[in-house]
Amino acid sequence: MDIVSIIEKKKLGRELSDAEIRYFTMGAAQRSIADYQLAALLMAIRLNGMTREETVRLTLAMAQSGDMVDLSMIPGVPTDKHSTGGVGDTTTLILAPLVAACGVPVAKMSGRGLGHTGGTLDKLESITGMRVSLSMDAFIAQVQRIGLAVIGQSENLAPADKELYALRDVTSTVDSLPLIASSIMSKKLASGAQAIVLDVKTGSGALMQTLEESINLAQAMVRIGTDAGRRVVALVTDMGEPLGSHVGNALEVKEAIDVLSGRVTGPLLQVSLALGAQMLVAAYAAATADEAEGKLLYALNTGGGLQKLRDMIAAQGGDPRVCDDVSLLPQANVVRNVPAPSEGFIQSMQTTHLGTLAQHIGAGRREKTDVIDHSVGFVLRRRIGDYVDAGEPLATVYCKNDEDADLAELSIQNAIPILRRKAPPLKLVHAIVEADRVTRL
């Protein structure tokens, strides 16, 4: 078996066998196949696609190219949730403690910020002393003890995917549905959770910007997980505007604490409850989503979710007092209101531009070596469909200096068009995707 014959086969649009897929996958993980040959194969896959069977084979091969986490010693059904990436998307910090408070173990491996999207690990590191790197034994022991842990992925988790992803990024092969689906699901399968809920974003700030593309991606990932023996369901949720009002690491932690404390409601809570409900159903802790949401609301209203967040912060070396005093989070040097440039209704938001703004003022990385400023970001004061008067605060920016605040003010005004006509608010959840059906809402 050789890589040239595999490239030739896929170039002609033929289906690759399990042995052929495992051959090039291990070659990628071990770096024994040249990058230019892997790049040629990736382009052939991008142009000719993969069958459902091929996509499952690729996902399993990438998952099995490194460590496979065994969570069988954790009582109950270990659950996980994955988002395809968004702006102001702080659902993990809300739903994970709420789900754990309902008795379902949450064993979550998260990532860092990527491009214009925020990362859960960067948000958690806003908390003084918080560790997001634990040994596998410590990770499992913590979930056994308190029912919840959120950590970074191990270096040897799906190493083939790391190599192939890096090549996709520089060869214009990122936008391939089987490659996207297998990349995401290989890490989820390797992470060991038996029940997985996927949050597939759609809209101006999403990886897939049309609803049909997002549903297709959700179906592909659900099918992969189901064929691999996991309980998987996906929600297609909107990213036509930031989900929460707060964008930036410490600011998003603050908003999560505000939600869990009962001080804040709105779209972020609604989507967190919808995703969390699916996690409870997938873990057999509720028969229906309505029953599950009732349990989550009880955990929210009685403080059980906030207590679980405290427990996790303390277990991972952080200062749990932040749950009662958000002023302990990093504070920005410059705080400034952004005035609305005219009166009218907010028509839309260029969500990717807003996420990129947060990245440029220090809340994200443009290069892997960049150091994040956890204190910076912005808080949106209005949503799509809201009316604003000229000069009324459109947002509040939190920056390290006046130059960044000037940039943030102009960028936010440009990214949020205001017109005389009223625009309808966005739908939060567009569809539920299960193994055998798609329910459009």
Residue 155: what residue type?
E
> What CATH superfamily is the domain 3-63?
Transferase, Pyrimidine Nucleoside Phosphorylase; Chain C (1.20.970.10)
Task: Give CA–CA dist 296/276, Å, rounded.
Answer: 7
| Domain definitions of the chain by residue range | 3-63, 79-324+429-440, 330-419
Q: Can you give the pLDDT at residue 113? A: 62
Tokens of 266: 């709105």
Check 65, 110, 182, 183 and give the catalytic one.
Answer: 183
Check 46, 57, 81, 82 and give the catalytic one.
Answer: 82
Q: What is the pLDDT along the chain (441 residues), one digit of tens a residue?
A: 899 999 999 999 999 999 999 999 999 999 999 999 999 999 999 999 999 999 999 999 999 999 999 999 999 999 999 998 889 999 999 999 999 999 999 999 987 766 666 689 999 999 999 999 999 999 999 999 999 999 998 888 999 998 998 898 788 898 899 999 999 999 999 999 999 999 999 998 888 889 999 999 999 999 999 999 999 999 999 999 999 999 999 999 999 999 999 999 999 999 999 999 999 999 999 999 999 999 999 999 999 999 999 999 999 999 999 999 999 999 999 999 999 999 999 999 999 999 999 999 999 877 667 789 999 999 999 999 999 999 999 999 999 999 999 999 999 999 999 999 999 999 999 999 999 999 999
161 is catalytic: yes
Q: Can you give the pLDDT at residue 172? A: 87
Residue 292: what residue type?
A
Check 67, 80, 89, 161 and give the catalytic one.
Answer: 161
336 is catalytic: no
Check 22, 81, 116, 187 and give the catalytic one.
Answer: 187
Instruction: Give the closest residue to 416 by CA, choosing from 392, 389, 380, 391.
Output: 380
Strands 195-202 and 79-83: parallel
Contact between 239 and 204 under an 8 Å Cβ cutoff? The reply is yes
Task: Give CA–CA dist 412/320, Å, rounded.
Answer: 33
CATH class of 330-419: alpha beta
Q: Can you give the pLDDT at residue 115? A: 60
373 is catalytic: no
Residue 393: phi and psi, rounded to 5, are: -60, 120
Q: Can you give the pLDDT at residue 130? A: 97
- CA distances to 25, 52, 167 from 6, rounded to whole Å, are 12, 18, 18
Q: In three state form, how does the secondary structure of 332-380 look?
A: CCEEEEEECCCCEEECCCCHHHHHHHHHHHHHCCCCCCCCCCCCCEEEE
| Cross-strand bridge partners of residue 396 | 337, 379
Length of the chain: 441
82 is catalytic: yes
116 is catalytic: no
Q: Can you give the pLDDT at residue 371? A: 85
Check 57, 112, 162, 168 and give the catalytic one.
Answer: 168
pTM of this prediction?
A: 0.93
Describe the crossing of helices 267-282 and 91-101 by its angle, rounded to 10 degrees.
40
Q: What CATH topology corresponds to 79-324+429-440?
A: Pyrimidine Nucleoside Phosphorylase; Chain A, domain 2 (3.40.1030)
Q: Can you give the pLDDT at residue 111? A: 76
